[in-house]
């Protein structure tokens, strides 16, 4: 009887592990606010549970928080896309540099999107600006 219960427990644990499937998770260190003319390096990490190597991409888009229109060029977001390879148990770390324009009024939104094949994760942050 104990062997049957142990075997059933092993099957259940194995099934739960496989049922989760591959996933991505983005973490980022974002400021609470930025000043006009201030440069910032947004540090982002993509963690995953892939067992095999795959190539994916991480995109950083800067948007006007009120209109949701891109402001990447205005913020000098030069490298908004980074490729990465999923290496087992190794998160991908990168930086996105940008500068707040001297006369930008209001808030802006940072949108990070990581994608490998059809698996995707995204995060959004709204950052206020001032003089």
pLDDT digits (tens, 9 = 90+) for 75-125: 988 889 999 999 988 999 999 999 999 989 899 999 999 999 999 999 999
DSSP code, position 12: H
**98, two tokens:** 């940008």
In the Cβ-directed half-sphere of 72, how many Cα atoms lie within 13 Å?
A: 12
Identify the three-state secondary structure at position 129.
strand
CB atoms within 10 A of CB 63: 19
pTM: 0.81
* The domain defined by 21-130 carries CATH number 2.60.40.10: yes
- Please state the domain extents for the chain: 21-130
Specify the pLDDT at position 65.
Answer: 95
Q: Are strands 39-48 and 24-29 parallel, antiparallel or unpaired?
A: antiparallel
**Closest by alpha carbon to 30, among 104, 108, 83, 92?**
108
CB atoms within 10 A of CB 48: 23
pLDDT tens for each residue of 22-61? 899 999 999 999 999 999 999 999 999 998 899 999 999 9
Instruction: Give the model's confidence band at 10: pLDDT under 50 very low, under 70 low, under 90 confident, else very high.
Output: very low
Instruction: Compute the CA torsion angle 110, 115, 119, 122 (nearest 10 deg).
Output: -10
């Amino acid at each position: 009887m104990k062997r049957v219960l142990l075997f059933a427990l092993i099957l259940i644990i194995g099934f739960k592990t496989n049922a989760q499937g591959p996933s991505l998770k983005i973490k980022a260190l974002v400021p609470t606010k930025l000043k006009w003319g201030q440069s910032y390096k947004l540090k982002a990490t993509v963690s995953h549970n892939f067992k095999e190597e795959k190539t994916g991409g991480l995109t950083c888009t800067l948007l006007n928080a009120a209109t949701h229109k891109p402001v990447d060029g205005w913020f000098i977001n030069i490298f908004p896309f980074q490729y990465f390879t999923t290496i087992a148990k190794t998160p991908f770390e990168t930086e996105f540099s940008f500068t707040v324009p001297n006369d930008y009024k209001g808030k802006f939104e940072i949108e990070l999107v990581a994608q490998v094949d059809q698996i995707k994760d995204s995060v959004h942050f709204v950052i206020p600006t001032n003089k």
